[in-house]
Amino acid sequence: EDKVVQSPLSLVVHEGDTVTLNCSYEVTNFRSLLWYKQEKKAPTFLFMLTSSGIEKKSGRLSSILDKKELFSILNITATQTGDSAVYLCAVEVWRALTFGSGTRLQVQP
Amino acid sequence: NAGVTQTPKFQVLKTGQSMTLQCAQDMNHEYMSWYRQDPGMGLRLIHYSVGAGITDQGEVPNGYNVSRSTTEDFPLRLLSAAPSQTSVYFCASSSWRGGAEETQYFGPGTRLLVL
């Protein structure tokens, strides 16, 4: 059975802190790993990772994949209150996504 | 482009009732899927479709039917609603041609309460 595990389940930080969110997976026929941000609505896409060791960056967010150790991390630097959300990791097996349960991030002023 | 649209936004059903959740996309995407999200959990795949006339089951298909008669529409039918189907339902679509980096676009969700 395909499995995606995220840690920590929740996190409270102060503005300006740097956070690292973790995602490990056990799936067959891995194609890609995706990160989403979910506020009180539909998930919005952040990154898609297919190759090990290549960092994807978007502003203060970055992510990297390790296909040998089967994990990915999402880094957020200089956090802002607008970063407060649930961050979802998903692994694409053939044409379907298996999601982790998410990490709830709360950034306090 | 409207993207992925879902109707209704919110629905209350009684146990045993049936209903159809609508999903449409105007991006000419081949791949469409339905997920449910329960409190404190990630999204779980119910059914998906790789093109008109082709559907397949996901992780939690029991109690749901789908059909894909057109590229644009992918309705989800609850045959006989049960309280365990109380959830938020998301429809998603993508072009997803193998090897290319393409995202799944999610609809705004339908919140379903089964009494």
Residue with tokens 């995220």: A6
Percent of chain B with pLDDT over 70: 93
Tokens of B112: 């379903």
Highest mean pLDDT among A25-29, A97-101, B108-112: B108-112
pLDDT of residue B98: 52
In the A/B pair of chains, how many CB contacts fall below 8 A? 52
Phi/psi for B85 (5° steps) reads -95, 0
Residue A79 has pLDDT above 90, yes or no: yes
Pairing status of strand B110-114 against strand B54-57? unpaired
pLDDT of residue B13: 96
Sort residue A26 into left (φ over 0), alpha (ψ -120 to 50) or beta. Answer: beta
Q: Do the Cβ atoms of B66 and B53 come closer than 8 Å?
A: no
Amino acid at B7: T
Mean pLDDT of the B72-101 span: 86
Tens-digit pLDDT profile for residues A29-70 = 888 899 999 998 889 989 889 888 889 999 999 999 998 999
In this prediction, residue B85 carries a pLDDT of 97
Closest CA to A34 of A103, A89, A100: A89
**Inter-chain residue contact B40 with A34, CB threshold 8 Å:** no
pLDDT in tens, B5-41: 999 999 999 999 999 999 999 988 888 999 999 987 7
The answer for B 40-99 residues in CB contact with A (under 8 A) is 40-45, 48, 50, 58-59, 90, 96
Across the interface, whether the CB atoms of A95 and B96 are under 8 A apart is answered yes
Contacts of A12 by beta carbon, 8 Å cutoff, 6+ apart: A106, A108
Q: Which of residues 17-56 of A touch B (CB under 8 A)?
A: 32, 34, 41-45, 48, 50
Q: Is the pLDDT reported for residue A96 higher than 90?
A: no
Closest CA of chain B from A90, distance in Å: 9
Name the closest residue on chain B to residue A87, using Cα atoms. Answer: B42
Phi-psi region of B59 (alpha: psi -120 to 50; beta: other; left: phi over 0): alpha
A90 has a chain B CB within 8 A of its CB: yes
Local structure of B20: helix, strand or coil: strand
Question: Is B100 a residue whose pLDDT tops 50?
Answer: no
pLDDT of residue B96: 64
Q: What is the DSSP letter of B96?
A: -
In the structure encoding, which two tokens stand for residue A25, read together?
């997976």
